[in-house]
Amino acid sequence: MRLALAQGAEALDKGEIPVGCIFVKSGTEEVLARGANKTNELRSGCSHAEMVAINDYLESRGGNGSEEFSHCELFVTCEPCIMCAAALSMLGIQKVFFGCHNERFGGNGSILSIHQDSLLACQRPYAVTTGLLKDEAISLFQRFYSLENRRGKRKTNTTCAWKENKVSKGSKLTEIKFVTRSRGNTKAYKQRNKKISDMLHLTKKSPYFHAAPPEKRKKRKKDDEASKDD
């Protein structure tokens, strides 16, 4: 488990959620694979420590060797999530040891008990032992959230407000205004605002998009009405 904690510490140093794991061949001390959380680095919510270790091992063997995991035990700092717990069941893992519980997404007892679920397709049950070096695992998370709170003080708030106007054909968006307060990189927030506009299918050419201040909108409306009268 200390090797798994070392993987978690490496993830923490890189700004990742500090979860680490190792797969060990049963009855030996041979480490088959190891991994750390890389969800930020790989921009993938599936890149949990367990999945990273499995994928790295399979890629190193040209996509072969999944049967090796059926002779292994997993040591992981935090309870595997539901996704990872199901993957471990399909691989036929023999046993899982984890440190602290995952109260939000845990798949080995906290939320679901995938390791005991007889209804899961391709299900192969496996044993679970909890609380191994639990305090050390929790300490990693405490350090992570302490760092995040410090960074959060420098982050900015972006709000999106809109008004709806009832018309004969239903409710249409008539105004969207982004308010950005930033001490840092305003470009990132402008890009975020644009993404929100794209999701709402709005552009500056749209009759339902008004990014200008109220006084400018009133003047534009008067100009439009004058041009129609002409």
Catalytic residue list: 50
Whole-number Cα distances in Å, 113 to 45, 46, 80: 21, 20, 11
Which secondary-structure segment (H or E) carries 58? Answer: helix 49-60
CB-based contact 73:97 (threshold 8 Å): yes
The DSSP bridge pattern shows strands 127-130 and 95-100 to be parallel
The DSSP secondary-structure symbol of 94 reads -
CA atoms within 13 A on the CB side of 141: 13
CB-based contact 180:155 (threshold 8 Å): no
Q: What six digits make up the tokens of 16?
A: 């990742």
- CA dihedral for 64, 67, 69, 72, sign (positive or negative): negative
For residue 99, give the 3-state DSSP assignment: strand
Q: What is the rounded CA–CA span in Å between residue 72 and residue 208?
A: 59
Q: What is the rounded CA–CA span in Å between residue 165 and residue 169?
A: 11
Q: What is the rounded CA–CA span in Å between residue 108 and residue 57?
A: 23
